[in-house]
Structure 1
Amino acid sequence: MKKLNYQEEVATRFTVYNSLFLDLPYDHIYRTGTMLPILQQLSHSGYEEGKEPAEIIQQFKKEILGAKQESDLHKLLFQLIQYIERQVLLFDSIEDAAFEKIFNMQGKGSVKELIGRVRHANKMEQLKEKLSTFSVRIVLTAHPTQFYPGNVLAINNDLEAAVRAGDLNTINSLLQQLGKTPFINREKPSPYDEAVSLCWYLENVFYKSIPAILYDLISELDEPWEEWVNPDLLNVGFWPGGDRDGNPFVTHDITLKVADRLRETILKCYYRDIRAIKRRLTFKGVENQLQEAESKIYHALYGDKSKGYKSPDELLTTLFAALDYLRKEHMGLFSELLEKFILKVKVFGFHFSIMDIRQDSRKHDTLWEEIVGKMDDKSTISQYEKMKETDKINFLLNLKELPGEVNDYEEFHQEMLKSFDALEEVKKRNGDRACHRYIISNCQSALHVMEVFQLARLKMSEQSYGNLDVVPLFETIDDLANASDIMRQLYEIPAYREHVKQCDNKQTIMVGFSDGTKDGGYLRANWSIFQAKEALTKISREYGIKVIFFDGRGGPPARGGGNMHDFYASLGSNIEDQEVQVTIQGQTISSNYGKTGSCRYNLEQLLSAGLENHLFADENRVLTDKERGLLDDLAEVSYQLYKDFKSHPKFTKYLAEVTPLKYFGDTNIGSRPTSRGKKGELKFEDLRAIPFVGAWSQMKQNIPGFYGVGTALQSIKEEGKSTELNQLYKDSLFFRTLLGNSMQSIAKSFYPATAYLGKDEEYGEFWHLMKNEFDLSKSELDEISGKKGLLHEAPVSQASIAIRERIVLPLITIQQYAIQKLREGVDDEEVFKKLVLRAMFGIVNAARNAA
């Protein structure tokens, strides 16, 4: 049924609306539009015949341009790229407009469906109890995987609305606008620009979606809404302006500027709402209360701050007084308007979104080296360097103040120290919930946590420091394996244990899917994270601490994306389920949370998954020792194969010289550099996960999403464990979800486009390693799923991927043609580099979660 709906609502409409491009009043557009299907067909048939991209392009030139110059060909190729980019955006808009028709908004994973099951199982009281403490937080990051500039996203939003309404005239005019609107940023955005872009989603999507879900949930529970005590059930985190890891452009001033923008944005939303409510609630005794609210919100936003509200609690006092009078004197007429507004103020406060501060542990190491080096006794630094870790921790804890003045430190270290001042100032301006944690990337020891802990004690007031969450981020396979030992060591430190006690005996721990996969491959990373969460849950429970897991995920399966409902529903009782926290970035923000319908659907999926794991945790979800052994074996075989592949002498060279990796820095989509290291020879450890995964995605090879899966499955079968393997797939939702997401990576791969590299003198053997594992993984996944084909359980994703891949096939051909020519050596190198770069945009945008 879903596939039929998809065909009618998306595929057919795309065919119809796509034809409108041919009638747009632009030079060459008819010619370009009629030539594109020819290149598409030549690509399709050419790859089937084993032709190279350069051969396909030359055949296209011969049929279309005859004896014309190469420059005429390149001009036409650029026109085709621009045409395809706009096709992709049109397809996005059509798909977005059909969202509610192709997804069951009240089906599996919805709040309504969950409550129905809860009522049937007589678990309503358990649900209400869980809802009082549970929380879902999606954290919007500044990671650059969105290739649409802001003005193009605005057109996409208007186009989606026009498609939804079937307004052909508006669709036509918006397509004309698209034809003249550049799809690339001329300059890199600043961290503040990134924050402003994401504020659009807060204001136009989350501000509407989150309160709507909560209000409907409270109604379903038949609870007095004013007794709702958990404003954190659904909330949004925010990294732009606070994420310093590898981004030298994020300063303490930027942090404060972004925090002020968040406050300003939410107050504007409140101001619009209160003015709209006043138009309806014109009753005696209520109108004057609302006038007071409007006036004080105005002053807090635009006027004399001393006359405005200082905190959301002051605003709530006014609103509750108005609501009380409305009920007593006016029969509660239109009271739902005030109720919904009060709910918004409770949820969003004056901060709108919760900012995080993040920095790499290695930066804290160098800061402390300078701090210790500034002490009076110059021999202290050499003594410190020779100390054991526990002695270093005690040394830091005994420090009563920082030596010297902040301005005496190196400029970068000054900024690090001032970030604690900024964190405290954000709390003062926007409230305690506005910024309450500091995340330590690349955390490898208890010392890394204590370095930040002690900096906070020395730099912040006791009140602000008292509820600060110091959050270790464990990323590599080794770090994940050591995570529970590190936390045990921390819990044994009296000062740290007392601090956790002050934070309601809660400890947030972040795990990195993206860097975990980059380090250990797909199966090993996911299984290591699962095991680490179990171990961290166990050790935290021993100390009476409730651990909160924060998952650093990207869009594609290679970075922890894919089906998140099934993932969180499958974790079982051995993993703490107090909260679901997950990063959302790049295209995943716009594709999954860019419209109120898709935002509500995906938020409900996360909410119900977390609740379901608690309410319906049965024995089938807890892996048996035998199943765990099987997963250990699978992960280890996969890990060894991936490690061998990663250590291949051609691995980093292939990434640097063959893939479009080097061009990510020229896309002007994000403020941060593509690598943490200095310019020069490419080092694997300095590579960011986004360009790493993105480079494989551009080549349509998707290595991080499947490499090792096929060999692991085959190896277990060869050990005579086929029955056990099939039973694991049948019984374990975790394992099925893991393999299902890997199927998505394979479905988005297309090895014929790079088959020419299989004959390459330098990279031929390396390419065949990838292709052989791809073929094996595809075959093994098909077999374990009962030969039903890839993505058989996700027909909508299957249909969407198929159309998107067909749209971008000419782009893939053009890009690979340019890569071929660059490797051969050409005079007009800049033209071919530009072809590679420009093709990147459409390929990424079509995938929606490619990096």
Structure 2
Amino acid sequence: MAGMSDKQLRARVRLFGDLLGKVLQEQAGSEVLEAVETLRRGYISLRKSNNGRKRQQLTRLIEALDAETAVHVVRAFSLYFSLVNIAEEAFQHRERRRQVRTGGPLWTGSFDRVLREYYSQGIEPAQVQKVLDRLVYSPVFTAHPTEAKRRTVMENLRRAFVISEQLNDPRLGKEERLNITRQLEAEIQILWKTDEVRTQKPQVRDEIKNGLFYFRESLFDAVPEVYRNMEKAIRRTYGPDSGIKVPDFLQFGSWIGGDRDGNPNVKPETTAMAVRLHQREILREYLRLVTELSHVLTQSRLLCEPNEAFLEGLARDEQEHPAFGTKSDRFLYEPYRRKLYIMRFRLYQNLHNVEARMEDPEAPVSEHAYPSEREFIADLNQIHDSLRSHGDEVVANAQLKDVIHLAKTFGFYLMHLDVRQESTRHSKAVADLLSKQMQPVDYASLSESERLELLADLVSRENRLPLPESIAEETTETLEVFRVMAQMREEVSPDAFGTYVISMTHAASHVLEVMFLASLAGLAGRTEEGWFCNLRISPLFETIEDLEHIEPVMRNLLSIPGYRELLKASGELQEVMLGYSDSCKDGGILASAWNLYQAQQQVTALAGEFGVECRLFHGRGGTVGRGGGPTHEAILAQPAGTVHGQIKFTEQGEVLSNKYSNSETAVYELTMGVTGLFKASRCIIEPPKPDAPEYHQVMQELSRAGEDAFRDLTDRTEGFLDYFYEVSPVSEIGLLKIGSRPSHRSKQDRSKDSIRAIPWVFGWAQSRHTLPAWFGIGTALGNWLGNDPERMRQLRHMYQEWPFFRALLSNSQMSLFKADMGIAGEYLDLAQHPESARSIYERIRGEYDRTLKRVLSVAELKELLGETPTLQLSLSRRNPYLDPLNHIQITMLKRYRNEALSEEEREAWLDPLLRSINAIATGMRNTG
């Protein structure tokens, strides 16, 4: 069957290729099509057998391309990758549906498979319910610039996906099939004529709207389907009378418009705009859904009797909102329609309010609007209960129940906006405020213990500290953020915000500083009635050093009585954020992964010691070098006993479009994440099996050796940073208009500290090194193994038995597969110091070969990704199409960087160069 399935996929890819070829012929001309085909066929043949003469011919062809033709060739390959991505996504969706139709056990990570495992192991319904009641699965959308596709292009691709799916209908006649194929060709032609590269750098408002795209296009459909699928799986496994109720465990967050760390474009008013745009989006969706329901729930009171609670509520609504319709007797005998029209009228008032406030923050608001999502949900539940009361349970649990799930998931806020700022901004603001009091305090000179004592006292005072008349502009802006948070909580929803994330948290005082500044805006503190806290703070630990200090910092914090009172007032939940990106850039993949693992154990144990619930917030990126990899496996790879039903993690860039552009894929991805969380949270109902102590000892030694190898290359090798900047397009990535945030902390600084983790990973991926995801693993494994067969047996046992170690090596396999040392070597032509560059390259290549050999040996595989043949096949298909793009990119980089050319000549090559970055990113799928 697999062979047949792959045949279908290949047929679909071939169809897309043929249609693209036809569009190229008609729209770009035979010269472009011929160049594309020659490069395509040529590099496919070179992958099969190396031919020096053929390689030279292809190089000469690339070098002969003028700038305009080069643009067309790059765009053709880029569009091809986008179409292949659609074909693969659709194929995987069809395969899952086929499994559902056969009626047997479903794929690993399906609700069906996980619940069957629970049932077969004797887990009772009450225990299942206990785990379900604790579940919170929270993806947080961020604007980190690794998504090179424009929203317009994503919308076009979605249409192509939907049209191509129609071709799977076996009932289609020849004419119908031809008509659908023509529609598909038209979409490809539109895509060809749509510029995939932004002409202007996106503003933060654009990034917010990009985030909203995924809700409108897929998540509003996907979320209720996830709940329905879980309910079906429970009925199928535990029976219809199990009594298990599915709670609303999905929550979505965002950093877009709230993350001001390093982004000077995010102002307090930007944060207010983000929250209002979120509210507008979800209100529009509720209006659409309530209107649909009013055409569905048409029951007549002459044929059924609503319950008393519903009728009383309806009568109250009619009295309080008489202006809902032009006719007072509208739907007089159709009570549910009457109720829904009143609800629609009230939602319109909410929408009018938010749109008015977007124009004028002081605009008056309608008294007929819902005061909060609670009243809206109550109205929906009232209809649901009434329908059930007269035997319409099937109706109540259909479309209406989907809307209830949406309302409980999204409220009136759509997603919880996190606010992030760097710790020194708060320290400076506190120092500024305290230096201008009647009795000035030199805050900067205080020790950590003195700072904690002072801040705890200031937060606990019933009278707030008076604000000085003259404070620094930065201090004013910092305080304004908290004022906006207080205002938006009142205007939009108490749940409009998630957590306040403090990046570069080095001390407990960094958390108390934020609590003190928040108290000045009335978000936290103490009154005559007692403590209150409407702010959750998430300290972020990023570097290797920060992760090593996480235990003493958090112990100091949780030992402060005042802070514990504030924590209790906010729900006894302490969130801690862990940064994958900076720790990996700092000390390499092994040290990063192992320090993160240990940090999770330390924080969880500490929270248990203080009787506090702990939620870990994982700052994952798209690539392995930034904590990426399959979500299901990543959650299962967390330390045993550290996942207590809740998990929160960042989703960004190309990961967002890969997971959430199509509702069919979004359902799968959300399901895989939730089932991973469900399995990892089994410690709620039974003690977890602890890791073998010897595993920890081995990892400690591997981590040390891996970090030393990584630092030896990146920190102690002369010319290494020059190598990175010269043999990758990292400087040019900064010219690509894909994000509002600068790529470097300091424009002129070439240090490893200055470059952000995203362009660091992005640059290495483009030049096919993928170094951050694997460098140091080969040396570490080799050093530890020596020639001891017993040690090899132990590592193999660890790979089979320990999810953390297995995920680490599995993810490294994916990155090793995406690397290509042959192509990476071609980028040496760009080096200004060839001998030094060659020496560094040979070191990287040597480590690549060592890592490849050792990883395959430990995993007992003959080739990379041998355990995931579908992924292996997908990546293998892409390589011959990536090869010409890399060679075009090298040629364009040479010309763009050639200072002997005039500026006008150099600029001519920038367009195809930037498009090559886009195209390679699309082909590799995860870049940053």
- Farther-moved stretch of structure 1 (481-490 vs 387-396): 387-396
User: What amino acid sits opposite 1:388 in the alignment?
Assistant: S
Q: Is 1:836 aligned with 2:894?
A: no
Q: Is 1:811 aligned with 2:804?
A: no
5 Å-filtered alignment, 1:112-191, equals 112-123=112-123, 124-166=125-167, 167-191=180-204
What SS class does the counterpart of residue 891 from structure 2 fall into? helix
Distance 2:593 2:536 in 1: 25
Per-residue CA distance 1:297-345 (angstroms, 9 max, x = gap): 1222137632121112212232233233333346446222222222221
Distance 1:485 1:268 in 2: 47
What SS class does the counterpart of residue 745 from structure 1 fall into? helix
- 1:52 deviates by 12
What SS class does the counterpart of residue 302 from structure 1 fall into? helix
* 1:780 aligned partner: 854
- 1:757 deviates by 5.6
Distance 2:476 2:600 in 1: 35
Distance 2:700 2:606 in 1: 21
Distance 2:380 2:629 in 1: 42
Per-residue CA distance 1:598-625 (angstroms, 9 max, x = gap): 1111111111111112338999963211
Distance 2:348 2:54 in 1: 61
* 1:751 aligned partner: 821
What SS class does the counterpart of residue 762 from structure 1 fall into? helix
User: What amino acid sits opposite 1:114 in the alignment?
Assistant: V
What SS class does the counterpart of residue 861 from structure 2 fall into? coil
- Farther-moved stretch of structure 1 (49-58 vs 658-667): 49-58
Classify 1:227/1:51 alpha carbon distance in 2 versus 1 (closer, same or farther; 3 Å): same
From 512, 515, 523, give the equivalent of 1:453.
515
**C-alpha contact (below 8 Å) 2:767/2:827 kept by paired residues:** no
From 774, 777, 781, give the equivalent of 1:706.
774
- Farther-moved stretch of structure 1 (532-541 vs 207-216): 207-216
- 1:349 deviates by 1.0
**C-alpha contact (below 8 Å) 2:293/2:399 kept by paired residues:** yes
* 1:796 aligned partner: 870
Give the alignment's TM-score, normalised by structure 2: 0.86
5 Å-filtered alignment, 1:78-89, equals 78-89=71-82
What SS class does the counterpart of residue 582 from structure 1 fall into? strand
What SS class does the counterpart of residue 307 from structure 1 fall into? coil
Classify 1:552/1:645 alpha carbon distance in 2 versus 1 (closer, same or farther; 3 Å): same
* 2:20 aligned partner: 21
Per-residue CA distance 1:216-241 (angstroms, 9 max, x = gap): 3245445899995843x111111111
Classify 1:331/1:470 alpha carbon distance in 2 versus 1 (closer, same or farther; 3 Å): closer
* 1:580 aligned partner: 647
User: What amino acid sits opposite 1:345 in the alignment?
Assistant: A
- 1:246 deviates by 0.8
Distance 1:260 1:227 in 2: 36
Structure 2 gaps, min length 5: 101-105, 168-179, 302-334, 354-364, 526-530
* 1:440 aligned partner: 502
From 409, 415, 420, give the equivalent of 1:347.
409
* 1:625 aligned partner: 693
Give the alignment's TM-score, normalised by structure 1: 0.93
* 1:216 aligned partner: 229
**C-alpha contact (below 8 Å) 1:506/1:547 kept by paired residues:** yes
Distance 2:828 2:266 in 1: 43
- 1:178 deviates by 1.2
5 Å-filtered alignment, 1:408-419, equals 408-419=470-481
* 2:382 aligned partner: 321
What SS class does the counterpart of residue 235 from structure 1 fall into? coil
**C-alpha contact (below 8 Å) 1:144/1:670 kept by paired residues:** yes
- 1:672 deviates by 0.8
**C-alpha contact (below 8 Å) 1:364/1:451 kept by paired residues:** yes
From 515, 535, 558, give the equivalent of 2:582.
515
* 1:291 aligned partner: 341
**C-alpha contact (below 8 Å) 1:57/1:813 kept by paired residues:** no
- Farther-moved stretch of structure 1 (832-841 vs 583-592): 832-841
* 2:309 aligned partner: none
From 681, 685, 688, give the equivalent of 2:753.
685
* 1:67 aligned partner: none
**C-alpha contact (below 8 Å) 2:533/2:570 kept by paired residues:** yes
- The higher radius of gyration belongs to 2
What SS class does the counterpart of residue 286 from structure 1 fall into? helix
- 1:830 deviates by 2.5
Per-residue CA distance 1:328-369 (angstroms, 9 max, x = gap): 346446222222222221221111111110111122223233
Classify 1:22/1:42 alpha carbon distance in 2 versus 1 (closer, same or farther; 3 Å): closer
* 2:85 aligned partner: 92
Distance 1:164 1:30 in 2: 30
* 1:267 aligned partner: 283
Distance 1:14 1:676 in 2: 42
Q: Is 1:35 aligned with 2:35?
A: yes
User: What amino acid sits opposite 2:288 in the alignment?
Assistant: R
What SS class does the counterpart of residue 618 from structure 2 fall into? strand
What SS class does the counterpart of residue 685 from structure 1 fall into? coil
What SS class does the counterpart of residue 66 from structure 2 fall into? helix
- Farther-moved stretch of structure 1 (543-552 vs 776-785): 776-785
* 2:713 aligned partner: 645
Distance 2:593 2:394 in 1: 53
Per-residue CA distance 1:824-844 (angstroms, 9 max, x = gap): 654133334444322100001
* 1:470 aligned partner: 537
Classify 1:822/1:49 alpha carbon distance in 2 versus 1 (closer, same or farther; 3 Å): farther
Classify 1:461/1:368 alpha carbon distance in 2 versus 1 (closer, same or farther; 3 Å): closer
5 Å-filtered alignment, 1:355-374, equals 355-374=417-436
Per-residue CA distance 1:436-492 (angstroms, 9 max, x = gap): 420011111112111112111222244896131110011111111110111000011
Q: Is 1:718 aligned with 2:786?
A: yes
What SS class does the counterpart of residue 398 from structure 1 fall into? helix
What SS class does the counterpart of residue 498 from structure 1 fall into? helix
- Farther-moved stretch of structure 1 (161-170 vs 359-368): 359-368
- 1:779 deviates by 1.4
Classify 1:823/1:798 alpha carbon distance in 2 versus 1 (closer, same or farther; 3 Å): same
What SS class does the counterpart of residue 510 from structure 1 fall into? strand
* 2:484 aligned partner: 422
Classify 1:818/1:324 alpha carbon distance in 2 versus 1 (closer, same or farther; 3 Å): closer
**C-alpha contact (below 8 Å) 1:289/1:319 kept by paired residues:** no
- 1:244 deviates by 0.8
- 1:758 deviates by 5.9
**C-alpha contact (below 8 Å) 1:371/1:403 kept by paired residues:** no
Distance 1:291 1:741 in 2: 52
Classify 1:52/1:494 alpha carbon distance in 2 versus 1 (closer, same or farther; 3 Å): farther
From 205, 210, 233, give the equivalent of 1:192.
205
- Farther-moved stretch of structure 1 (547-556 vs 117-126): 117-126
Classify 1:126/1:49 alpha carbon distance in 2 versus 1 (closer, same or farther; 3 Å): same
- Farther-moved stretch of structure 1 (342-351 vs 767-776): 342-351
From 617, 623, 636, give the equivalent of 1:569.
636
Distance 1:79 1:826 in 2: 26
**C-alpha contact (below 8 Å) 2:641/2:688 kept by paired residues:** no
Classify 1:420/1:226 alpha carbon distance in 2 versus 1 (closer, same or farther; 3 Å): farther
What SS class does the counterpart of residue 750 from structure 2 fall into? coil
Distance 1:113 1:120 in 2: 11
**C-alpha contact (below 8 Å) 2:591/2:704 kept by paired residues:** yes
**C-alpha contact (below 8 Å) 1:42/1:60 kept by paired residues:** no
Distance 2:553 2:369 in 1: 47
- 1:37 deviates by 3.0
User: What amino acid sits opposite 2:580 in the alignment?
Assistant: F
* 1:301 aligned partner: 351
- Farther-moved stretch of structure 1 (661-670 vs 633-642): 661-670
From 219, 238, 242, give the equivalent of 2:254.
238
From 784, 788, 811, give the equivalent of 1:741.
811
**C-alpha contact (below 8 Å) 1:53/1:753 kept by paired residues:** no
What SS class does the counterpart of residue 768 from structure 2 fall into? coil
Classify 1:618/1:319 alpha carbon distance in 2 versus 1 (closer, same or farther; 3 Å): closer
What SS class does the counterpart of residue 592 from structure 2 fall into? helix
What SS class does the counterpart of residue 520 from structure 2 fall into? helix
What SS class does the counterpart of residue 508 from structure 1 fall into? strand
